[in-house]
A = this chain, B = another copy of it.
């Protein structure tokens, strides 16, 4: 078993209203960032887990998204995994 760092990125699904993104986009433009296009705001979850392989760590991340982290109706997520520094192989 090794420790893996899992990063989960959760964003509003394409086509779903993103009021927070719109607010941030408006604020950026009013600060002079005129050329900013669409803005989406999501959540980032970083955690580490014990797993036998990178693929298992990724699958644990997916389960966490389905059970708690992401709203399956309105959000999409993607996951990246890397072996944690100093992990015993």
Interface residues of A (CB under 8 A from B): 3, 9-11, 24-25, 27-28, 31, 33, 35-50, 60, 63-64, 67-69
Partner of A48, one of B36, B45, B49, B50: B36
Chain B neighbourhood of A27, CB < 8 A: 68
- Which one of B42, B46, B50, B63 contacts A46 once the chains associate, using CB atoms below 8 Å? B42
Contact partner of A44 (CB less than 8 A), chosen from B38, B44, B64, B67, is B44
Q: Is the CB of B31 within 8 A of A39?
A: no
* C-alpha gap A54/B35 in the complex (Å): 15
Contacts of A36 in B (CB 8 A): 47-49
Using CB atoms, name the residue of chain B closest to A7: B9
